[in-house]
Amino acid sequence: MSALTLAPPDVMIPVAARLATVDKETHDTFTLTLAANSREQELPAFAPGQFSMLYVFATGELPISISGDPAERGKLVYTVRSVGKVTHALVTSRPGESIGVRGPFGTAWPLKESYGRDVLIVAGGIGLAPLRPAILHVLRHRGDYGRLIVLYGARSPQDLLFRKQLSAWNYVPDTLIINTVDYGGLSWRGNVGVVTTLFRHVRLQPARTTAMVCGPEIMMRYVVRELLARGLSDEDIHLSMERNMKCAVGFCGHCQLGPYFVCKDGPIFTYGKLKRWMDRYEL
Amino acid sequence: MPTRSASAAALSVSALAELISTLQARGYQVIGPAVRDGTIVYSPIERLEDLPAGFSMEQEAGACRLVKRNDGAVFGYAAGPRSLKSFFHPAEIKLISAERDNGTFRIVSDAPSPPRTAFIGVRACEIAAVRIQDRVLLEDRYKDTFYETRRAHAFIVAVNCTAPADTCFCASTNTGPRAREGFDIALTEIVDDGRHVFLAEAGSAAGKELLRELPKAEPAAELRKAAEKALQDAAGSMKRRLDTDGLAQLLYDNFDHPHWDDLASRCLCCANCTLVCPTCFCVAVDEASDVDGRSAERWRRWDSCFTQSFSYIHGGSVRHSPKSRYRQWLTHKFASWSDQFGTLGCVGCGRCIAWCPVGIDVTRELAAFRTSPAAVNSQGGSHD
Ligand SMILES: Cc1cc2nc3c(=O)[nH]c(=O)nc-3n(C[C@H](O)[C@H](O)[C@H](O)COP(=O)(O)OP(=O)(O)OC[C@H]3O[C@@H](n4cnc5c(N)ncnc54)[C@H](O)[C@@H]3O)c2cc1C
Ligand code: SF4
Ligand code: SF4
Ligand code: FES
């Protein structure tokens, strides 16, 4: 992982980057693109699944996954759902303003390890954001992988992210994208139901499939159950976990989950690592 | 053991005074134990008389009392409420200042360089705690440079502990009463038969060099023996014990043990234990900004897993019940810490026992899990 050039004196000190664009995805979700602040500044490379700590002046700092294409250098793309103080400040920031960045941090989706295999992506809500770099990577190296299946669930049609991109991907050979929503409304012709109901539309080859899953914890539990029932092994199921984070570098203690620090041992874990802890209520 | 070398010496009380002035002359700010607010805490020390000669602290679960001792011992007390954590990993520290100009901002990291500090009277458990924090803040994937700058230039005069409190159990955690590493000079105080001397041993080149400057005598074999015996007696006299064998497994396996409810019925979630604990490192970062919105600061502050906000994620806290928070604390210190960093997160200093307002005693609570292992070890309740 390369560090930010103009390396700050301490890992806790952000570097100010320039907010280049803010694009509306849905009523509450926006994609932000950061660019270098000056000619000397070079934004770091990242691996799909990693996150940054984004700092909004006088407001606060948050973990946000990188949602852009890992092959495109010189910018950092994030997709943020406005749910509270800092995410609201982020999505209402204007192009030209500075955003503080630290990172990238954390583990990545197992893309190298999945060469030649089928890749199954299961996403719920904003959970599609950290998975998009993985999808973009597979599409860019289409020949290196087997089938690509994306199962994606959102609350309503208005909440579906990256809709245009999703339908375009459906035309790529050996690629299957299926959406569902919890509540459809009158004009919705697509699937209705939680994301696990989509499993009946696909036939998996468990021995050659790697699953990458991100969404609310409860959804991930049900997805895991489904994947295990279809014969995937613990080690072929990868989950991205969410915990409170104040540092991202193992210093603040907030992100602990059993023996792990989600910031540095995760956020992406194999189910094999998590299974002992995931079902413990209030762990 | 570092005895028997030319770097050991017998120091008189007045040589201890010279140790302080020599450190000062070398530009160190000297911090040592002093009587303050009814306890003994690390404070800036100007001279020998500032040290708590003739005082001790009686400590019990939920209680700490300053008492007089009649032998004039300078270090005749065990761990006070403050640990070196207060100095190396301060309760509050400014991480950055930022200044806004027209939507863009500039980050100023204006950390002043901390003074060179010498610490006198540092117990073995305390040094072990610093080593544990080193592991977390310096020797893991990232380095905390705020900690590093404070830690790096510290000069440490350890005191091998001959006066453990009733709350101490460092013999069980193998972190005392003798300091084995991590000091520049270690003292063992001997007060008997009208003599008052310190057996001094150097633990570093700097310590050796400093000892050379002090008036001293070659330590007699008898003094070494007396020191050895005093430390053995101290280890043997500890009232509290902790069986550390298989502790991690015990706690992991007893996630649903009814004793957690019993604990939760007593614990106030006041966070005292995490604040006094010399190894607890958790922090939060708070934002402060001025009224006109032109400048902002980010402050790092000690935080505690006993607060509800600690585990907050959008929608609610992961650990909302006091029971789950107590369980996180105890399980972190005595189980997951070993997985994370290879040691217990506890050095047996007993601070959390003495400073718990309701007198919760980790040694007793942990023992309770052994005597009554949960009948059923269910894999947690069903969630949602
Ligand atoms: C590894 C990781 C990656 C993430 N990636 C994304 C992403 O790509 N897009 C996105 O929209 N959201 C993402 N999140 C969630 C995002 O960080 C939270 O939605 C955000 O912290 C909410 O903060 P707030 O101030 O807007 O909300 P409030 O509810 O007002 O939160 C108050 C404070 O609590 C803390 N907090 C609250 N929720 C979380 C949370 N889920 N995780 C960590 N701290 C929290 C923060 O310190 C926050 O400032 C990610 C979280 C993690 C841990
Ligand atoms: S847990 Fe208690 S006894 Fe152990 S190091 Fe912390 S304060 Fe001391
Ligand atoms: S999680 Fe709790 S016990 Fe562990 S270091 Fe943090 S405050 Fe201490
Ligand atoms: S976010 Fe601070 S330790 Fe993981």
Q: DSSP per residue over B154-181, as a string?
A: -EEEEE--S---TT--HHHHT--SS--S
Amino acid A2: pLDDT: 38
Amino acid A104: pLDDT: 97
pLDDT at residue A1 is higher than 70: no
Tell me if B366 sits within 8 A of B334, measured CB to CB: yes
Residue ranges of chain A that CATH labels 3.40.50.80: 112-278
Amino acid B207: pLDDT: 97
Distance from CA of A59 to the nearest CA of B (A): 6
Q: Phi and psi for B101 in degrees, rounded to 5?
A: -145, 105
Tell me if A110 sits within 8 A of A119, measured CB to CB: no
Give the confidence band of B314 by pLDDT, cuts at 50, 70, 90: confident
Q: Taking CB atoms and an 8 Å cutoff, what residues of chain A touch B382?
A: 279, 281
Mean pLDDT of B129-134: 98
Task: Name every protein residue with a CB atom under 6 angstroms from any ligand 2 atom.
Answer: B 276-279, 333, 346-352, 362
**pLDDT mean across residues, chain B:** 92
pLDDT at residue A214 is higher than 60: yes
Mean pLDDT of A105-133: 98
What is d(CA A102, CA B5) in angstroms, rounded to the nearest whole number? Answer: 50
Amino acid A151: pLDDT: 98
Mean pLDDT of A39-51: 94
Amino acid A262: pLDDT: 98
Tell me if A32 sits within 8 A of A76, measured CB to CB: no
Tell me if B57 sits within 8 A of B66, measured CB to CB: yes
What is d(CA A57, CA B106) in angstroms, rounded to the nearest whole number? Answer: 10
Amino acid B383: pLDDT: 40
Query: Is A68 touching B (CB cutoff 8 A)?
Result: no
Give the confidence band of A216 by pLDDT, cuts at 50, 70, 90: very high
Greater confidence (B4 vs A214) lies with A214
Mean pLDDT of B40-45: 96
Cα B207 to its chain centre, rounded Å, is: 22
Nearest to A244 among B95, B310, B320 (CB): B310
Mean pLDDT of A149-162: 97
What is d(CA B52, CA B56) in angstroms, rounded to the nearest whole number? Answer: 8
Query: Is B381 touching A (CB cutoff 8 A)?
Result: yes
Interface test with A, best of B106, B142, B310, B320 (most A CBs within 10 A): B142
Pairwise CB contact (< 8 Å): A218 & B318 = no
**Angle, helix B145-152 to helix B124-137, in steps of 10 degrees:** 140
pLDDT at residue A5 is higher than 50: no
Which ranges of B185-306 would DSSP assign to H, the alpha helix? 205-213, 221-237, 247-253, 259-266, 272-276
Q: Percentage of chain B surpassing pLDDT 70? A: 95
Q: Percentage of chain B surpassing pLDDT 90? A: 86
Residue ranges of chain A that CATH labels 2.40.30.10: 9-105
Neighbours of A84 (CB within 10 A): 12
Amino acid B114: pLDDT: 86
**Dihedral sign for Cα atoms in the order B157, B147, B299, A85:** negative
pLDDT tens digits for range B146-197? 999 999 889 999 999 999 999 999 999 999 999 999 999 999 999 988 899 9
Mean pLDDT of A233-244: 98
Among residues B383, B373, B362, B384, the alpha carbon closest in space to that of B252 is found at B373
Among residues B159, B175, B149, the alpha carbon closest in space to that of B88 is found at B149
Distance (Å) from CA B129 to ligand 2 centroid: 9
Question: Where would I find the beta strands (DSSP E) of A96-242?
Answer: 98-105, 118-124, 148-154, 175-181, 191-192, 209-214, 237-240
Mean pLDDT of A33-57: 95
What is d(CA A88, CA A94) in angstroms, rounded to the nearest whole number? Answer: 12
Amino acid A7: pLDDT: 54
Interface test with A, best of B340, B343, B344, B377 (most A CBs within 10 A): B340
Amino acid A188: pLDDT: 93
Give the confidence band of B361 by pLDDT, cuts at 50, 70, 90: very high
In terms of phi and psi (left: phi > 0; alpha: psi -120 to 50; beta: otherwise), the region of B193 is left
Amino acid A48: pLDDT: 98
User: For residue B31, what are the β-bridge partners?
Assistant: B44, B119
Among residues B355, B349, B341, B303, the alpha carbon closest in space to that of B176 is found at B349
Task: Name every protein residue with a CB atom under 6 angstroms from any ligand 1 atom.
Answer: A 51, 60, 62-65, 79-81, 83-87, 126, 129-130, 242-245, 267; B 312-314
Predicted model pTM: 0.94
Q: Taking CB atoms and an 8 Å cutoff, what residues of chain A touch B284?
A: 246, 252, 254
User: For residue A60, what are the β-bridge partners?
Assistant: A56
Mean pLDDT of B28-37: 96
Mean pLDDT of A28-49: 95
**pLDDT mean across residues, chain A:** 95
What is d(CA B145, CA B141) in angstroms, rounded to the nearest whole number? Answer: 13
In terms of phi and psi (left: phi > 0; alpha: psi -120 to 50; beta: otherwise), the region of B352 is alpha
Pairwise CB contact (< 8 Å): A259 & B312 = no
pLDDT at residue A157 is higher than 60: yes
Among residues A203, A114, A127, A111, the alpha carbon closest in space to that of A160 is found at A127
In chain A, the N- to C-terminal Cα span, in Å, equals 31
Query: Is B106 touching A (CB cutoff 8 A)?
Result: yes
Q: Which CATH code is given to the segment(s) A9-105?
A: 2.40.30.10
Mean pLDDT of A12-18: 94
pLDDT tens digits for range B273-291? 999 999 999 999 999 988 8
Pairwise CB contact (< 8 Å): B281 & A13 = no
The answer, yes or no, to whether the previous bond of B258 is cis (omega within 30 of 0) is no
pLDDT tens digits for range B325-347? 999 999 999 999 999 999 999 99
In chain B, the N- to C-terminal Cα span, in Å, equals 56
Amino acid B292: pLDDT: 83
Mean pLDDT of B311-332: 95
B20 membership: H or E segment, kind and range: helix B13-25
Pairwise CB contact (< 8 Å): A10 & B140 = no
Q: Phi and psi for A176 in degrees, rounded to 5?
A: -130, 120
Tell me if B244 sits within 8 A of B170, measured CB to CB: no
Amino acid B384: pLDDT: 38
Tell me if B23 sits within 8 A of B233, measured CB to CB: no
Q: Which CATH code is given to the segment(s) A112-278?
A: 3.40.50.80
Residues 6+ apart with CB under 8 A from A63: A51, A52, A53, A105, A245, A248, A263
The answer, yes or no, to whether the previous bond of A216 is cis (omega within 30 of 0) is no
Amino acid A4: pLDDT: 41
